[in-house]
Amino acid sequence: MKIFLNGKLVDEKDAVVSVFDHGLLYGDGVFEGTRVYNGRVAFLDEHMERLLDSAKVINLNVGMTKEELKKATVETCKANGIKNGYLRHVVTRGVGTLGLNPYQCKKAQVIIIAADIQLYPAELYETGMKIITAGTIRNMAEAVNPRVKSLNYLNNIMAKIEAINAGVMECLMLNAQGFIAEASGDNVFAIKGNKLMTPPTWCGALEGVTRDKVMQLARELGMEVSETVMTRYELWTADEVFLTGTAAEVIAVVEIDRRPIGTGKPGPAAKKLIKAYRDFVNNNGTPIE
Ligand code: PMP
């Protein structure tokens, strides 16, 4: 496997970073997860824009423009013969001293990995997922804003541990006020009648690329779409609930906290959106020629 590391494609065994990199020492950096479908990178502009925005918020100079990042991404896919897969962009603060001071780090490290994707089992899209509400709350926007896709994922990992320990694969995360933020690695939506609702990002959600596309597709399907402040009441009483994310795509949730949602089976709206989203990503994107 060839890895893009600081402007060059290198063999996997040579793709090593220093133990003094602040990405390792402090989780000081940002990342992205992007999909490749049928030889095309899905939502490449959107992912690179979010990577650069995340970097801007943590005052990290990536040292590459969006166009340079896009070109490097396509080259990395090409070098690895990737037709379908998952990309990981990582930008770390770079090599510094053992102190916190990020300004001691001379240069950001830019890493692009093009690999296979680990998906949820296919039958989960037929049966739907069971989730719980985690006790770990989502970080407050005034701490590290959840809109920043930073290398500090312990908040999400703490919640994920609760989910796995409870025998499920995902969990809801609430914010400090008790409102729904998102799942540990996905955004969350609720459907009531013709209304599709998802929490606003200020409730503690990442502005998911999949979330944005699904909102657009739902509008095109004639649904009334809104960003709505929600508690668990809205989810427990919803007709349907589903999660969205680059890896998960759109996946129905049929049980939350051991309570069945709607009929307890994936509903018609989730099924329509799963299909519409797959149709879109399989037929659009930046070609790897
Ligand atoms: N929320 C969190 C916390 C995430 O890490 C992700 C990405 N895995 C998402 C939501 C979904 O975002 P996207 O649709 O851009 O993958």
- 170 belongs to a structural domain: yes
**Where do we find the tokens 């668990």?**
232
251 Cβ partners below 8 Å, 6+ apart? 120, 124, 125, 128, 129, 186, 242, 243, 244, 270, 274
Q: Are residues 179 and 102 in the same domain?
A: no
Q: Where residue 132 sits, what CATH number does that domain have?
A: 3.20.10.10
Q: Are residues 11 and 79 in the same domain?
A: yes
Nearest atom, ligand 1, residue 211 CA: 14
- pLDDT, one tens digit per residue, over 182-200 is 999 999 999 999 999 999 9
Does an H or E element contain 173, and which? strand 170-174
Q: Are residues 106 and 129 in the same domain?
A: no
Q: Which domain holds residue 80?
A: 2-115
Q: Where residue 67 sits, what CATH number does that domain have?
A: 3.30.470.10
CA atoms of 150 and 33, how far apart (whole Å):
12
Q: Are residues 143 and 251 in the same domain?
A: yes
Q: Are residues 261 and 143 in the same domain?
A: yes
Q: How many domains does the chain have?
A: 2
pLDDT at residue 117 tops 90: no
Q: Whose CA is nearest to atom 12 of ligand 1?
A: 208
Q: Are residues 136 and 60 in the same domain?
A: no
pLDDT at residue 280 tops 90: yes
* pLDDT band, very low/low/confident/very high, at 171 (cuts 50, 70, 90): very high
Q: Are residues 165 and 84 in the same domain?
A: no
Query: What residues are annotated to the active site?
Result: 149
Nearest atom, ligand 1, residue 146 CA: 3
Closest CA to 34 of 52, 22, 46: 46
